[in-house]
Amino acid sequence: MNRRLSEQRVRNTCRELVAERGRISGRQLRQVLKGRFGAVGKTARIFRIWREETGQGAVMAPQMIEAREMQERMVAAESRAAENLARAERAEFREQAHQDHWAMEVDRLRQAGLAQAGSAATIRGLQEQVLRLTAELNAARALLLAQRT
């Protein structure tokens, strides 16, 4: 005689036990199945049905929870790293633009300074000429005054 328990019988038994007792273990289910039907079924199959019916399938082994949490942390960390990289690239671009701006400004001021250096020489030459002409004018005036007297 085939003593294999149908999946429906196992599910119904599991549901009845949960309704009566609340939470049950897979071993308790197997004991009740043996008492009612004289068979317990294959362990892996019975426990799979038990997990599906009691919601225990949602409860994962601690290693699986840790692995999933680590995966979530890794995804979050990669996202933060991508944001930080983008922020750093923008900052680097702004810094380069800043450096370029001030390099051009310094160059402009150097060029203006060089132009002023040439102007300064011209100004010095003109000042010397004014002093020389002033001295000649004073000498001419002194000569005129001497001739009048």
Q: At 60, is the secondary structure helix, strand, or coil?
A: coil
Taking alpha carbons only, the member of 10, 1, 8 closest to residue 41 is 10
Give per-residue pLDDT as tens, 83-92: 999 999 999 9
Helices 7-21 and 43-54: angle between axes, nearest 10 degrees? 50
The closest alpha carbon to 9, from 124, 38, 88, 80, belongs to 38
The 10s digit of each residue's pLDDT in 73-82 is 999 999 999 9
Q: State yes or no: pLDDT of 138 exceeds 90.
A: yes
Alpha-carbon distance of 71 to 64, in angstroms, equals: 10
Residue 5: CB partners within 8 Å, gap ≥ 6?
33, 37, 39, 41
What pLDDT, on a 0 to 100 scale, did the predictor assign at position 149?
Answer: 76
How do residues 22-52 score in pLDDT, each as one tens digit? 888 889 989 999 999 888 888 889 889 888 8
Q: What pLDDT shows up at residue 54?
A: 82
Rounded to whole angstroms, how far apart are CA atoms 13 and 37? 10
What is the per-residue pLDDT for 61?
A: 55
User: Taking 50 as the threshold, does the pLDDT of residue 64 lie above it?
Assistant: yes
The rounded distance, in Å, linking the Cα atoms of 96 and 88 is 12
